[in-house]
Structure 1
């Protein structure tokens, strides 16, 4: 029986409620997709998800806490200066807390060992799941992510200037901001489809069930509060694939190099011209890499 795409909710032991969707056949090998900073579950396009389900996987997409339709924290967000300086408040949650959410969602669904795929901040979360929940992790794919080492994977000054821009106040502003940032991050080989991206920005705006700006600030803070995770990554035993582009302006390619170096026996693929974006023009290529990695693990 196939599962139809719809928002569902999982109440977790700590009180957080995670919104998720499932696509594919019950009983098929599960793949958990974890999105990045300020990205809701719809960031994983239907084309990418369909490429995985067509190959015989059950795909779970989740809204991280402080994003989409999942629970929003009640603690104050860090101010702009704290974000730029990487200073976390004492009441900050961490990437480990977000990894706990993902692991508890899988336990709630009763799925057993799962193939974890994360992009950007979601890659950091997926890495943390693999390090802390090895029994739940069948494989790991880390997509344009990094280790937390401040010497690698840092954003370009031009990207920092865009991040520091005033947040949009309405849906039209959100679409414009998304198009501006996506065009900046997309790389050189895969142009932005403005119609596709505008539609995605509208969907994200409509699905945001809390204070999105505060949520994004707290997610940035979670990265800062987690520090350098290189030593933790060395404990990962799950077969790992690291993918990044060579034109990434928010997580410099050195972050991918460091991730692959930190995780024992990780395979590393660098895609020429790719930036910090997964458009439909790249969806099938990246899905093919993920499927090949998972199938190699299963042999």
Structure 2
């Protein structure tokens, strides 16, 4: 449920990466803290990050900003391509619209627009893979990396399929609701139900309320999802990540198997894996304290990088 008071987020702004415009905003509390950029997942807009979690991160000393991936939310949506289903997009040998490098550069474009020379990154689901790639492609811009509920960023095609529960992905891709406010509310609630931990009671009323506060049609936009998931990575392996790294994964994740988190942690030097009990492919309130505590501890361990300016950015 989105229970934050009005005015918690700054007015929406847009960063530019070539012709692509990326919508972003910043939590207004503790805007002078350590920069933390939130990177959202497949088919979702930035508002899927709960306001309560963002307030807690601000309370831990972070200046929190979030953005919409290309083909998501209020950011630029690209033209249709031949692949129009996210499941089939996994099997293609190349992306039809853009590369994973482009998506990594999007995050840096947002940091530039914010005036951040470097930032901590928290990426969830596809956003976790994007954040890993930012750490590979732009290591000087990354203070710490937290990858949650993600597959290894260098896994593609059949290599990625070993980590994905295809039945859940197919259900996600098969959601069909009218393109109306009520249809988007129903779709949002259905996605939350699909991705929740089966070992925690599901609150249907709260899910519908959260969906009503965030009328995100991206959960039903299969073409956009296909372009996002089909973006291919051509850069280094994740073994080359040299930034302080935390890997979070829900023990009950119904979409990405926990073995994906274990694989990332086993390959990124010095990284640490934290499995979250009774957590699915989601950011549930009972896990916020643990998530924010772990991210704060990672930032404290990393210390203060020399790239930070006198204003703390």
TM over 0.5: yes
Conserved 8 A contact 1:83-1:221: no
Q: Distance in 2 between matches of 1:151 and 1:212?
A: 21
Gaps of 5+ in 2: 1-6, 305-313
Question: How far 1:228 sits from its partner (Å)?
Answer: 8.8
**TM-score scaled to structure 2, two decimals?**
0.84
**1:225 aligned residue (231, 253, 275):** 231
Stretch of structure 1 that moved more, 26-35 or 111-120: 26-35
Conserved 8 A contact 2:244-2:270: yes
User: Counterpart of 2:107?
Assistant: 102
Q: Distance in 2 between matches of 1:191 and 1:94?
A: 39
1:204-263 Cα deviation digits (max 9, x unpaired): 32x66xx7744x53343333332697x521111110000001211111111111111221
1:107-163 Cα deviation digits (max 9, x unpaired): 222211100000000101111111100000000000110112325311242442342
Gaps of 5+ in 1: none
Runs of 4 or more above 4 Å deviation: 211-214
Q: Distance in 2 between matches of 1:194 and 1:102?
A: 33
Answering whether residue 42 of structure 2 is matched by residue 17 of structure 1, we say no
Aligned residues: 292
Taking only aligned residues, the RMSD between alpha carbons, in angstroms, comes to 2.5
Conserved 8 A contact 1:19-1:63: yes
Question: How far 1:83 sits from its partner (Å)?
Answer: 2.8
Give 3-state SS (helix, strand or coil) of 2:72's partner. coil
Give 3-state SS (helix, strand or coil) of 2:41's partner. coil
1:17-76 Cα deviation digits (max 9, x unpaired): 111111233442100001111221111111101111112211011111111111111243
Q: Distance in 1 between matches of 2:293 and 2:82?
A: 38
